[in-house]
Structure 1
């Protein structure tokens, strides 16, 4: 079980990767040409292209006292539809930047990244029997950055289960595998993010598996005092084709829906595996989310997919 300080250190490392600041930058809006995530936002940079920006802004607008809720609510449907014209909507981008100074937005972001990314990544680590704080940080980084599952599977093929290979050896192999994937990726922007794995290799080389402080990541010193500070009132590896699956009219269909159905069927839910996201699938999904302590909204987003092993 990680301590709260270890958890915050792991998050701070990823914040440095995403925004250059250990505490993150709640109002940071980034748009890089060629980034499949399109517009990204917040302390750990969630993306328009994945549909996760919609989930964050929806949560913020529903929070009591959200100063920019009225201004942002008209954008919710466009966010849900992944309207890529929002990339260059300067009014929308300005609202996001301004909302970053709202303490309600800051709390919403902290809760969002914890619920949607940290908790599922910690569960993924637990399922593999990984207990070290550095291992958790590496999996959290991959969950935020994208493509955790395929890199995990490649490492399992080469190394077997961590329990057999040993946690330290398995994680070191995973970092090497992911670094090679990033370095050779056809999206040249991703090749520039190998610094993430280089930073983790440095921590592995120092045998800092417990994330003992202080640590310096990309020239940023992380020490306990930063976690007592409250601020005044970026390339994603997420495949833009990874949809947040939900009930729509007409119904969503496709291989991703079928994979969701198959995963729920393995969990014991009696559903028709036909590749169509219908009312029955929504009911089963909500039941699964409620059982595992997720927000039972019937949307198969990143947290739900992680819990299902997708």
Structure 2
């Protein structure tokens, strides 16, 4: 865990996005908690519906630099309705994964229902919001 915190701190401190540079204090605080013995955490653990395991933290993984530099947008039902290209991508991908839905490029009631169905089927928090956890779920994790 200490190694992971040091790696994250370095990444935050040296990132080209200067807003991230200002968040290194979080990693410093975690390191201090661990150093003083006030930290007891064992794997596996769950955080915001994401399972953290030893193999996940030590494995090579398949993360790409583009994942960090250009995250996919958060999509949800709102007024006016969202009509960005990512909505159409989401709709196509949901259909490809067996969810019944029409492709219209609009995040409306039908798309929200389809997203909730996807989230329920995949053990995610069912809120109709396509954020990082939903985008990262198997089947939606690869851009079309």
- Fold-level similarity (TM above 0.5): yes
Whole-angstrom CA distance in 1 between matches of 2:128 and 2:56: 33
Q: Comparing both chains, which one has the higher relative contact order based on Cα–Cα distances under 8 Å and sequence gaps of 6 or more? A: 1
Aligned to 1:291: 121
| 2:84 maps to which of 246, 254, 260 | 254
**Structure 2 segments unaligned to the other structure (5+ residues):** 34-45
Q: How does 1:259-298 map to 2 (within 5 A)?
A: 259-298=89-128
| 1:35 maps to which of 17, 26, 29 | 17
**TM-score, with structure 1 as normaliser:** 0.32
Q: Is the contact between residue 124 and residue 134 of structure 2 (CA under 8 Å) also seen in structure 1? A: yes
**TM-score, with structure 2 as normaliser:** 0.63
Number of positions where the alignment pairs a residue of Structure 1 with one of Structure 2: 122
Deviation at 1:269, TM superposition (A): 1.2
Deviation at 1:42, TM superposition (A): 7.9
| 2:5 maps to which of 7, 15, 29 | 15
Evaluate the alpha carbon distance shift between residue 251 and residue 41 of structure 1 in structure 2; reply closer, same or farther with a 3 A threshold: farther
**Structure 1 segments unaligned to the other structure (5+ residues):** 1-8, 21-29, 46-96, 102-109, 123-131, 149-236
| 2:70 maps to which of 211, 236, 239 | 239
Q: How does 1:62-81 map to 2 (within 5 A)?
A: none
Task: Provide the secondary structure at the position in 2 that maps to 1:147.
Answer: helix
Evaluate the alpha carbon distance shift between residue 13 and residue 35 of structure 1 in structure 2; reply closer, same or farther with a 3 A threshold: same
Task: Provide the secondary structure at the position in 1 that maps to 2:60.
Answer: helix
